[in-house]
Amino acid sequence: MRFMIAEPSAVARRGQSLDNFFVDAPEPNHSTTEPDIPGFRRDRCASYLAGTEGSPPRAQLLTAVRALAARSSNVGSHAPHLLTSDGSPVVRDRRARALDIGCGPGREVVSLRSAGFEVDAIDPYPEMLHRTREALLAAGFDPGDGQLERATLEEFAGSLTPVRYDLVHAGFVLPFVRPSHFQMCWDAIVSSLKPCGVFAGQFFGPNDEFVRAASPSDMTSHTAAEITAIFQDWEVIEREEVDRDGCIGRGASKHWHVHHVVALKRS
């Protein structure tokens, strides 16, 4: 079985796009160098896994897929526009393509593949990519039909191909991009979306517990007004601000200040 796990920023260093870039992937080495993400070290990664084990795909991703389905006439034959028997959207044309940034254990990748998308995915932790591969195999999918790269968003952004994706999902990733790199990463995401493509993801607000505990140079937060400015030229499909005490999944307690956003890129 072949699938892709490239080393961090390997593609960007060579100035290549991701197309047709595959390597034979060994089993992950869990003792590899810590990813360069000051706000999301291995202990937080472990806490996230423990608190979200067995959780369904994120609601914002499913909203994004359904939004594409509802707007299929606007995005052409590459858009998802059918429903399976359980109500999940599917795509008729296998050329519809999605990107999952920070794919974790692969729940959203499997959901997107089930919906009919070709999926590229990145995560800085090799064990996450291994879990994604195993989740795809368990669901009956060939991991070699998509691209998996070990990279942070900061490392990966420079290799994003413009106008490649119908959907980009960045689940709880953007807050962990350093402020000095945020605009570059966001511009790359926007550029990678096709006209009428859909973004789904989260931004942290300044009251978030992780943000308050972080060095100002380590994490990025946004006020409600700043989110409004970011998406002023988009069609906002769904937006919710949460500022309350809660838990990381079903695990450790945490104060959340999160902006959930699903938005369509206007042509």
Say which CATH number the domain at 245 has.
Answer: 3.40.50.150
Closest by CA to 111, choosing from 129, 125, 91, is 91
pTM (global) more than 0.85: no
| DSSP classification of residue 108 | H
Residue 32 has what pLDDT? 53
Question: Would strands 97-101 and 118-123 be described as parallel, antiparallel, or unpaired?
Answer: parallel
Local confidence pLDDT in tens for the 267 residues of the chain: 233 334 444 444 334 444 433 333 334 444 457 888 988 878 878 887 777 787 889 999 999 999 988 876 433 444 444 445 455 555 555 578 999 999 999 999 999 999 889 999 999 999 999 999 999 999 999 988 889 999 999 999 999 999 999 999 999 999 999 999 999 999 999 999 999 999 999 999 999 999 999 999 999 999 999 999 999 999 999 999 999 999 887 778 999 999 999 999 997
Q: Which helix (H) or strand (E) holds 166?
A: strand 165-170
The per-residue pLDDT for 191 is 98
Q: Examine residue 4 and state whether it is found in any structural domain, yes or no.
A: no
pLDDT at 143 (0 to 100) = 87
Would residue 10 count as lying in a domain? no
Per-residue confidence (pLDDT) for residue 31, from 0 to 100:
45
Residue 168: CA count within 13 A, CB half-sphere: 32
Q: Is 1 inside a domain boundary?
A: no
C-alpha–C-alpha distance, residues 82 and 85, integer Å: 10
Give domain status of residue 5, yes or no. no
- Residue 41 backbone phi and psi in degrees, to 5: -80, 175
Q: Tell me whether residue 26 is in a domain.
A: no
Per-residue pLDDT at 77: 40
31 lies in some domain: no
Q: Is residue 178 part of a domain?
A: yes
Q: Number of structural domains, the chain?
A: 1
Establish if 29 belongs to a structural domain: no
Closest CA to 163 of 182, 186, 188: 188
Question: Which residue range(s) make up the domain with 54?
Answer: 36-265
